[in-house]
Structure 1
């Protein structure tokens, strides 16, 4: 996986080097300071004194990588929700729409049901968000360190997969660079907060507003979080009204698939440098769900309802647009996630 880096100079000093010679684990980075790495090492050794050096090292690598993968998102205002679409799409495909101020129809089939037809102004402070979904193995190192079961199910027994099983070895060989999956929203929340514990940085799940603002490259009126705002599939085409011909996409044009990504970062990033926000892998955000929330949402840094029974899920399967939201019970299989850094100010040396 190639790390994509935007704006991290605003967060940490650009220092690197070796760590304390007395430590049994070490790391270096072009973007994470030695001071920050030493803090992580100290916290891991203090919190997990009985863990093996191998496991501590993997945890250190995971935490450093989480910081390296952050994309800084400058705060600002945008209209959150379904910003509309032409009633008759010139390209004749929902995968290729250009927004204009005179749009008259809603974009999504679910807008009224989920409340996103209530377009409303949101203003966010700056924050950072991971360029990638959390990988299966990064979550697995955290879970091993904390003596937690594998966050995957052996569907032959409908129980947690055992680490000493052949199935587990096959699983990690095939999916080690794939997006993590959860069986409960709390597993995603716990992982992000674990990153906060070992880095002493305010990691958490992104809010729903933060997720959408980042997917839309700071609130642009683009329908998909791809490199160009269109969903260009292998073997698909679109109608060009100027030439009155259909145009086929070639292999170089493809930026999405009807299948989930095989590995993290498979398709191009959006203009902000964030991958996989239109890749058919659903993601948890921090918010409780209410279909009426957009009617009462505060403008500044909305956090979602104070309580609820359902959680918000983003980027579910199908041709899901960046503003579409879905409600699901917190106990739900196969939802992934990415973490964010809930901090607007820079970290000084």
Structure 2
């Protein structure tokens, strides 16, 4: 492939709401060494995209221009040294940017074949959530079969994935959500205990259910102290976002007495090598769950790429349950 390609991308030249998003056309160079160009079928909309649109989450150095962190589609072109993929092969991928597009660029190590039995468009809802849950719940959180796992925002893209993966692993799953409809969605996915945080005291409910050994939290703020109170001895709290704020005050005495661990991470800024290692683990451990029907992407809604502002409005409304996708 010698001639430059043209692709649409989505940018936010000025921070703001969904109205700040712009669809523009740019020239795309051929794939560099170790890269794959993907003809995009769909891309996932994720909370970090919203934060980037608002001006609070700048892309890491070297990231492709534009919003979007995960895609599915067909291999369009292979860069020098890329092995294990064929032109036209259905794939899904984690990207550092530029996923809202007709053509996306991905490091080969972050590209995976679409699992058997998963629709190509729906596969766009896998990479960001599965990679995030694997590295935080199973690696950092070291969740073991039989342990109690609590995830907040159980009906979100991360939450719906975490419920299914933890259940497939043999954990007892507890979730919180903000409406009866969302709580019902969590139960359908396999959650053993679900609490509507708008109507009941989820902390007391979790304690009554036996507490939690691992907690995946994206709320932060006043939830941190409550999470530590819900956490059992030797429990692990894994923080991946902070919708209620990143600055908190906690009493470390309880952490010491119960020998708890507090950790957290981000995914986007990790090196290609780190992401490739996560992808390898996901393919080994999670893809079999997906192909066996134990884990599936729960899709809330799809929008044409040109309607990206409507997709962001849906995400901003917090009314969704599962993944929001853009179809190229």
Q: Please confirm whether the aligned pair reaches a TM-score higher than 0.5, indicating the same fold.
A: no
- TM normalised by structure 2 equals 0.24
**Which one has a larger percent helix, Structure 1 or Structure 2?**
2
Larger Rg: 1
Q: TM-score, normalised by structure 1?
A: 0.23
Larger strand share, 1 or 2? 2
